[in-house]
């Protein structure tokens, strides 16, 4: 008999693969004449507002001879976050957003929303509040999967195809900015496949929909009411929205949460090479308009790459026929393949193109 987590994973995979088990209709509401009210009404019951409580910060170690009373007398409460030995430190609290993806109460949010949490509370728009537990989380993609502690049935959202999105497509976000739950904003897809140097698998959707602190973990919808991204980061010098927000694409979220639902961990393929970008000079010599692929700088001893015959200086161009634009594309392609899989990798070496067959290993858990 499959384990509870395995059964849940299979159930989740089936729901992600079919629309019949999901509750959000897909009637197109692109540029609706009367506004987005109908769309908001349809999807809002599946969006939750997350409050987390973490352990109190460790007591600050004060220097020898430090005079607590003198510090207080001079500065009063100008440093309210600074704990003193005779004060009870306040527990850390945080806010975020999440969204339900299965009728039995699985929900998705950002890992950074629940990181360090000892208690997680989720509240629906109708006021119902539940506790939730972490099923699994992935630091490298900033995705976390939670389970609502309830036997109730919940309205679930449907994932759309993030790879079908184009610059200029309409999008809508619902979130909990600054604790103002149920806030709706709209905009367009500003750019795709953004790398903001937050992790090895950056592939963000950029949007100009207003995203602020507290929107983290909230859904980004297309005009069919499908989740095509999870709002995760903003570019801001002030801490407020500058019209540049970033969302994890739905196709990546689906892969991660399906894996997390199985046993709470992520299994990623591992090649075992240190890589860098192709230079402009090499691209010109090889006849490319712009640099492509990834250049091998070092091969890890006893790695799948070493066993397959990779060498320093190889230029990796394709994985299983998929052309690679840059080193990040290689990292994502390998990570998406299950360990133990045999893959064909096309390389360029000493003036010749060749294909190496490699059996991928598993990325060490310390790197996930």
Tell me the C-alpha distance between 276 and 289, whole Å: 18
Residue 142 annotated in active site: yes
Tell me which of 11, 44, 104, 112 is the catalytic residue.
112
How many degrees, rounded to 5, is the angle at CA 236 between CA 230 and CA 239? 90
**Annotated catalytic residue within 190, 216, 241, 250:** 216
Residue 246 to residues 37, 175, 203, Cα–Cα distance (Å): 24, 14, 9
DSSP structural state of residue 44: G
**What is the DSSP annotation of 245-256?**
EEEEEHHHHHHH
Residue 38 main-chain phi, psi, to 5 deg: -65, -45
How far apart are alpha carbons 350 and 288 in whole angstroms? 16
How many CA atoms, within 13 angstroms, populate the side-chain half-sphere of residue 93? 8
Question: Looking at 46, 138, 142, 223, which residue is catalytic?
Answer: 142
- Give the CA angle between residues 8, 134, 224 to the nearest 5°: 65
| φ, ψ (nearest 5 deg) of residue 68 | -55, -50
CA–CA distance, 199 with 187 (Å, rounded to integer)? 26
How far is 46 from 264, CA to CA, in rounded Å? 23
- Is 44 one of the annotated active-site residues of the chain? no
216 is catalytic: yes
CA distance 223 to 203: 21
**Cα(231)–Cα(175) distance, rounded to whole angstroms?**
9
d(CA 222, CA 56): 39
- The residues facing 53 across adjacent strands are 93, 119
What is the maximum alpha-carbon separation in the chain? 75
Q: Which residues are catalytic?
A: 112, 142, 216
């Amino acid at each position: 008999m499959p384990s509870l987590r395995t059964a849940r994973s299979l159930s989740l995979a089936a729901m992600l693969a079919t629309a019949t088990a999901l509750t959000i209709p897909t009637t197109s509401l692109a540029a609706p004449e009367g506004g987005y009210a109908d769309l908001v009404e349809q999807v809002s019951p599946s969006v939750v507002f997350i409050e987390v409580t973490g352990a109190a910060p460790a007591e600050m170690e004060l220097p020898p001879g430090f005079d607590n009373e003198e510090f207080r007398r001079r500065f009063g409460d100008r440093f309210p976050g600074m704990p003193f030995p005779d004060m009870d430190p306040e527990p850390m609290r945080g806010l975020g957003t999440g969204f339900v993806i299965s009728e039995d109460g699985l929900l998705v949010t950002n890992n950074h929303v629940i990181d360090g949490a000892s208690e997680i509370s989720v509240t629906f728009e109708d006021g119902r509040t539940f506790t939730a537990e972490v099923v699994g989380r992935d630091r490298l993609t900033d995705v976390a999967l939670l389970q609502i502690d309830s036997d109730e049935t919940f309205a679930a959202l449907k994932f759309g195809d993030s790879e079908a999105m184009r610059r200029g497509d309409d999008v809508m976000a619902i979130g909990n900015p600054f604790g103002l739950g149920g806030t709706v904003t709209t905009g367009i897809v500003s750019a795709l496949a953004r790398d903001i140097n937050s992790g090895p698998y950056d592939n963000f959707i950029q949007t100009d929909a207003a995203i602020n602190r507290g929107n983290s973990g909230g859904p980004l919808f297309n005009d069919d009411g499908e989740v095509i991204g999870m709002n995760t980061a903003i570019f801001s010098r002030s801490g407020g929205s500058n019209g540049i927000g970033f969302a994890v694409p739905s196709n990546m979220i689906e892969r991660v949460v399906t894996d997390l639902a199985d046993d709470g961990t992520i299994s990623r393929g591992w090649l075992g090479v240190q890589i860098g970008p192709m230079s402009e000079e090499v691209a010109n010599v090889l006849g490319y308009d712009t640099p492509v692929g990834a250049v091998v700088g070092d091969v890890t001893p006893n790695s799948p790459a070493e066993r397959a015959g990779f060498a320093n200086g190889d230029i990796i161009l394709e994985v299983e026929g998929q052309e690679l634009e840059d080193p990040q594309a290689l990292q994502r392609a390998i990570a998406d393949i299950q360990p133990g899989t045999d893959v064909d990798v096309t390389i360029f070496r000493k003036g010749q193109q060749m294909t190496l067959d490699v059996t991928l290993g598993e990325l060490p858990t310390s790197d996930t």
